[in-house]
Amino acid sequence: MLKLFKTILKTGDATLKYPFAPAPVCDNFRGKPEYTPEQCIACGACAVACPPNAITMKARPEAGTHTWELFLGNCIFCGRCEEVCPTKAIVLSKEFELAVGNKADLYQNATFRIANCACCGKPFAPQKAVEYAIDVLKQTGANAQVVEERRKLLETCSDCKRKQSIHAGEMIELRRYLDEGKDA
Amino acid sequence: MSSLAETKTGQHYIDALRQRFPSTVLQEEWQTRDQVTVTVKLNSLPEVVEWLYYNQGGWISVLFGNDERSIHGNFAVYYVLSMEAGTKCYVVIRAEVDARTGEFPSVTPKVPACVWGEREIRDMYGLRPVGLPDERRLVLPDDWPDNLHPLRKDTMDYRVRPEPTSDTENYKFVNDASGETREIPLGPLHITSDEPGHFRLFVDGEDIIDADYRMFYVHRGMEKAAETRMGYDEVTFLADRVCGICGFAHSVAYATSVENALGIVVPDRAQLIRSVMLEVERLHSHLLNIGLACHFVGFDTGFMQFFRVREKSMTLAELLTGARKTYGINLIGGVRRDIQKAERDATLKLLGELKKEVAELVDMLLDTPNLAQRTSGIGRLDPKVARDYSPVGPNVRASGIARDTRADHAPTGYKLFQLPVRTKDSCDVLGRVLIRVEEFFDSIHFIEQALANMPVGPLLVEGFKYTPHKFGLGFVEAPRGEDIHWSMLGDNQKLFRWRARASTYANWPPLRYMLRGNTISDAPLIVASIDPCYSCTDRVTMVDIRKGKSVTVPYQEIERYGRERKNSPLK
């Protein structure tokens, strides 16, 4: 019994002053995801990876936009989005105080423009993703002429690319299979 | 496949089975070197399971149905037996059930451990176990429509909520008492923990003559959601949320089941990190239960102290994974996070503090005369009952039976460092508390050893092949006993069937026998001693059958009476 009193005395106050003093968390704590739209290329990798569908991408081709949205109410703070993001546009912070008075405050979104295919004119990919690809190409040290040649390719949708490569290669046989595939 | 054939463990069970029951085995399929699925003729199912269970040292881990009509036209039932006498392996007995008759012979009359599983198959698939003594619903609520079986592939979307068919509870509680008894319902709702239950105690004066209970008030339909809504690689995060205490154990069990199905070999380092986190989880869970044991015997200061120290184990989890609970570090094929040197040093420091502080507190707890007085000889789990019902974890180990998945099947990183299996012969609440205390220190020792000898290498296997309709078992020893998962992959990057069995599911059925012969004031203590996903009930209604009047007493009152044992609320 005496030992018990000793332990109690030695321990003193076990409670924290929180919320009047900050409650520290460990490094690498997985808290609220911080999103930087300027960094984002709207590739949608995070929306594919997100297990609870807290991150969604909505394409509106008629308006020519692509909207990225995060609903914190669904977020499980797993950090898969951070892991798959190619541009570090989303990073988990240490923030854990997420209560809001208004549900709308739990939503965060950003709208991006969709690029139209240089060939058929149909919308096919986010403008920023196309620009990112061209920038990466420049970074590899390709000269201006190569970049211009490739730009055409990068600004073309995959359907058109497929058709072009078949025409260019004179692979008539292949084209037949392609059309057959469509019918089936 | 040739290397698999050479190292098979447990082939002799199958050979003996073929010899004992000629022309019964229709098919034999090995998932891993110590995991085999044997398809038998439907009519010999009870005999085969009984023979493996009682004659060959098998224990029922889990049983479940599967709607395989889209694959071969029939339903199937699977009985998973963990073989633990001599050669240790998993033998899964599978039988196909005709989709038109929907009937299969019940195994429960021969092996009582099958009772919950067969009742669940009846609810979820509408298959009828012929000869099942207890035909009440288990999982589905009383007001659920009769012919709606949620896990059939063609019945319903996972978002559908059917209209209730009745306004009253019509569940019949079973009372085996011969004389007159009073009836005490405990529950049913608003329980602090994640699995509310409704207990009905049948008492004579202060003595519990019999008990019955109803669970699944918060059945979340996770299996259905996983099968229809999520990708198979995302389910690790859902499995993390099966339980608020041993979630990581479920996540590892799920990931292992898919890895076993696809033949993925997880790198050693990843396996050991998983084991370290499983042991960290055990630290906090055991401290929680020891704390609660203090609380229920009226030693509240001890409860406060254990919970204060427990905070250190929560910090440990936060440090190593980035979250106090729902660690979320598992992926199919390995883990997402390494343990760095700084984290290792901080962990070792925290472990040292924990070891010292808990040792002092345990000394104090064991010196308290109240503890032995209140727990010794209470809530006896007879080894015979244990053998019939296949309970798991400290619950069964306190009855002198050395069942521990870590030792028996050495999942994940436990191959690298052996852990002792702690058993006690007292069969009572005290034994279960003492086992948890010993295991707590074993876990600390294991983590220290693992961190000092962490193998070097990759954390994750990438580039494996997803093969439709492969299936496998995954298992770990969670703080409360074996968690076992069975997964079958579909052909759409989803699961065809996921069966997750938490350890407490195996511990509920024998609880009835543990409650018999004790007094009402011991009931909360006994229920807490299996460390269920349930710890407290909202209020208690007492029905005096002789006088025909009922009294409603707040739960705090019966809990207070459990601790102080003065001023009985029954008087």
DSSP symbols for B408-425: HT--GGGGTS--PPP--S
Point out which residues pair with B198 in neighbouring strands.
B214
Does the beta-carbon distance from B301 to A79 stay under 8 Å? no
Distance CA B20, CA B16 (A): 6
% of chain B beyond a pLDDT of 90: 64
Does the beta-carbon distance from B328 to A3 stay under 8 Å? no
Residues in chain A closer than 8 A to B360 (CB atoms): 3, 7
Q: Show which residues on chain B lie within 8 Å of chain A, measured between beta carbons.
A: 230, 234, 237-238, 241, 301-302, 305, 308, 311, 315, 318-319, 322-323, 326, 328, 336, 360-361, 363-364
Nearest to B305 among A7, A76, A79 (CB): A7
Digit-coded pLDDT (tens) for A12-34 = 888 889 999 988 899 889 999 99
Closest among B440, B562, B538 to B193, alpha carbons compared: B538
Nearest to B318 among A11, A29, A77 (CB): A29
Does the beta-carbon distance from B360 to A3 stay under 8 Å? yes
3-state secondary structure (DSSP) of residue B79: strand
pLDDT at B466 (0 to 100): 94
H or E segment to which residue B268 belongs: helix B268-296
Reply yes or no on whether the pLDDT at B550 is more than 60: no
Nearest C-alpha in B relative to A30: B322
A8 Cα to chain B: minimum distance (Å): 8
Does ipTM surpass 0.90 in this model? no
Residue B234 in tokens: 């995302």
Lowest model confidence (mean pLDDT) among B69-83, B219-233, B419-433: B219-233
Digit-coded pLDDT (tens) for B235-258 = 999 999 888 888 999 999 999 999
Would you call B495 exposed, middle or buried from its count of C-beta atoms within 10 A (0-12, 13-18, 19+)? buried
Does the beta-carbon distance from A7 to B322 stay under 8 Å? no
pLDDT at A182 (0 to 100): 55
Count the residues in chain B: 571
Distance CA B306, CA B134 (A): 41
Residues in chain A closer than 8 A to B371 (CB atoms): none
Peptide bond between residue B479 and the one before it cis (omega within 30 degrees of 0): no
Does the beta-carbon distance from A78 to B237 stay under 8 Å? yes
CB proximity A79 to B under 8 Å: yes
CB proximity A29 to B under 8 Å: yes
- Mutate which of A1, A3, A4 to disrupt the B interface (most B C-beta within 10 Å)? A4
Residues in chain A closer than 8 A to B302 (CB atoms): 4
Residues in chain A closer than 8 A to B230 (CB atoms): 51
Domains recognised in chain A with CATH numbers: 28-156 (3.30.70.20)
- Give the residue, B25 or B178, on which the prediction is more confident: B25
- Mutate which of A1, A11, A30 to disrupt the B interface (most B C-beta within 10 Å)? A30
Lowest model confidence (mean pLDDT) among A100-104, A169-173, B279-283, B442-446: A169-173
Digit-coded pLDDT (tens) for B287-332 = 999 998 888 888 888 999 999 999 999 999 999 999 998 999 999 9
Does the beta-carbon distance from A4 to B237 stay under 8 Å? no
B247 near B208, Cβ under 8 Å?
Answer: no
Contacts of B15 (CB under 8 A, 6+ apart): none
Per the listing, tokens 């460390």 go with B531
3-state secondary structure (DSSP) of residue B392: coil
Lowest model confidence (mean pLDDT) among A45-59, A87-101, B106-120, B516-530: B516-530
Q: What are the distances in angstroms from CA A181 to CA A122, A184, B139, B445?
A: 22, 5, 48, 62
CB proximity A83 to B under 8 Å: yes
B418 falls in which pLDDT band (50, 70, 90)? confident
Distance CA B153, CA A143 (A): 58
B215 falls in which pLDDT band (50, 70, 90)? confident
SS3 letters across B455-490: CCCCCECCCCCCCCCCEEEEEEEECCEEEEEEEEEC
Q: Which letter, b or e, does each residue of B261-277 get, where b requires 16 or more Cβ atoms within 10 Å of its Cβ?
A: bbebebbbbbbbbbbbb
Q: What is the CB neighbour count within 10 angstroms for residue B393?
A: 27
Phi, psi at B104, each rounded to 5°: -145, 150
Does the beta-carbon distance from B318 to A25 stay under 8 Å? yes
B535 falls in which pLDDT band (50, 70, 90)? very low
Reply yes or no on whether the pLDDT at B542 is more than 80: no
Does the beta-carbon distance from A30 to B234 stay under 8 Å? no
Does the beta-carbon distance from B237 to A8 stay under 8 Å? no
Distance CA B53, CA B58 (A): 4
Closest among B178, B119, B113 to B149, alpha carbons compared: B119
B571 falls in which pLDDT band (50, 70, 90)? low
B61 near B82, Cβ under 8 Å?
Answer: yes
Would you call B508 exposed, middle or buried from its count of C-beta atoms within 10 A (0-12, 13-18, 19+)? buried
Does the beta-carbon distance from B238 to A51 stay under 8 Å? yes
Q: What is the DSSP string of chain A?
A: -HHHHHHHHHH---S--TTSS-----TT---SEEE-TTT-----HHHHH-TT--EEEEEETTTTEEEEEEEGGG-----HHHHH-SS--EEE-S------SSGGGGEEEEEEEEEEPTTT--EEEEHHHHHHHHHHHHHTT--HHHHHHHHHHHTS-HHHHHHHHHHHHT-HHHHHHHHHHHH-
B530 falls in which pLDDT band (50, 70, 90)? confident
**Which amino acid appears at position A177 of this protein?**
Y
- Mutate which of B299, B305, B316, B320 to disrupt the A interface (most A C-beta within 10 Å)? B305
Reply yes or no on whether the pLDDT at B554 is more than 70: no
pLDDT at B334 (0 to 100): 94
Residues in chain B closer than 8 A to A52 (CB atoms): 237
Does the beta-carbon distance from A29 to B322 stay under 8 Å? yes
CB proximity A23 to B under 8 Å: no
Does the beta-carbon distance from B237 to A79 stay under 8 Å? no
- Mutate which of A11, A13, A26 to disrupt the B interface (most B C-beta within 10 Å)? A26
Nearest C-alpha in B relative to A2: B364
Distance CA B305, CA B382 (A): 33
Reply yes or no on whether the pLDDT at B416 is more than 90: no
B411 Cα to chain A: minimum distance (Å): 25
Among residues 122-141 of chain A, which lie with CB inside 8 Å of chain B?
A: none
CB proximity A8 to B under 8 Å: yes
B193 falls in which pLDDT band (50, 70, 90)? very low
Point out which residues pair with B213 in neighbouring strands.
B199
Instruction: Give the residue-averaged pLDDT of B553-559.
Output: 65
User: In this structure, is the dihedral angle defined by the CA atoms of residues B392, B395, B400 and B402, taken in order, positive or negative?
Assistant: positive
B521 near B562, Cβ under 8 Å?
Answer: yes
% of chain A beyond a pLDDT of 90: 54
Q: What is the CB neighbour count within 10 angstroms for residue A22?
A: 10
3-state secondary structure (DSSP) of residue B243: coil
Residues in chain A closer than 8 A to B237 (CB atoms): 51-52, 76, 78
DSSP type of residue B166: -
Residues in chain A closer than 8 A to B308 (CB atoms): 11, 14
Rounded to 5°, angle at Cα B197 from B193 and B198: 145
Residue B544 Ramachandran class (φ > 0 left, ψ -120 to 50 alpha, else beta): beta
Residue B257 in tokens: 């089941």
Reply yes or no on whether the pLDDT at B548 is more than 80: no
Residues in chain A closer than 8 A to B364 (CB atoms): 3-4, 7
Paired sense of beta strands A123-126 and B25-32, if any: unpaired
Residue B12 Ramachandran class (φ > 0 left, ψ -120 to 50 alpha, else beta): alpha
Q: What is the CB neighbour count within 10 angstroms for residue B190?
A: 12
Alpha helices in B322-428 (DSSP H): 341-367, 369-375, 383-389, 394-397, 405-408
CB proximity A168 to B under 8 Å: no
Instruction: Give the residue-averaged pLDDT of B9-16.
Output: 92
A21 Cα to chain B: minimum distance (Å): 18
Distance CA B514, CA B383 (A): 11
**Which amino acid appears at position A23 of this protein?**
A
User: In this structure, is the dihedral angle defined by the CA atoms of residues A85, A88, A90 and A93, taken in order, positive or negative?
Assistant: positive
Per the listing, tokens 């010993």 go with B438
Does the beta-carbon distance from B363 to A79 stay under 8 Å? no
Q: What is the CB neighbour count within 10 angstroms for residue A172?
A: 9
Q: What is the CB neighbour count within 10 angstroms for residue B194?
A: 15
- Give the residue, B570 or B151, on which the prediction is more confident: B151
State CA A33 to chain mean position distance: 12
Does the beta-carbon distance from A76 to B305 stay under 8 Å? no
- Give the residue, B171 or B2, on which the prediction is more confident: B171
pLDDT at A14 (0 to 100): 85
Distance CA B473, CA B92 (A): 9
- Mutate which of B314, B364, B460 to disrupt the A interface (most A C-beta within 10 Å)? B364
Distance CA B362, CA B306 (A): 9
Distance CA A8, CA B293 (A): 19
**Which amino acid appears at position B293 of this protein?**
A
- Mutate which of A3, A78, A98 to disrupt the B interface (most B C-beta within 10 Å)? A78
Residues in chain A closer than 8 A to B363 (CB atoms): 3
* Dihedral over alpha carbons A124, A126, A130, A132 (to 10 degrees): -160
- The pLDDT mean for chain B works out to 88
pLDDT at A8 (0 to 100): 85
% of chain A beyond a pLDDT of 70: 90
Distance CA B416, CA B450 (A): 9
Nearest C-alpha in B relative to A51: B234
DSSP type of residue B398: T
CB proximity A30 to B under 8 Å: yes
Nearest C-alpha in A relative to B328: A78
User: In this structure, is the dihedral angle defined by the CA atoms of residues B453, B456, B462 and B464, taken in order, positive or negative?
Assistant: negative
Reply yes or no on whether the pLDDT at A174 is more than 70: no
User: In this structure, is the dihedral angle defined by the CA atoms of residues A75, A76, A82 and A85, taken in order, positive or negative?
Assistant: negative
Nearest C-alpha in A relative to B361: A4
Q: What are the distances in angstroms from CA B373 to CA B370, B442, B511?
A: 5, 27, 21
- Give the residue, B538 or B250, on which the prediction is more confident: B250
Digit-coded pLDDT (tens) for A111-151 = 999 999 988 888 889 999 999 999 999 998 888 888 888 88
Does the beta-carbon distance from B237 to A52 stay under 8 Å? yes
Instruction: Give the residue-averaged pLDDT of B109-123.
Output: 95
A68 near A55, Cβ under 8 Å?
Answer: yes
CB proximity A146 to B under 8 Å: no
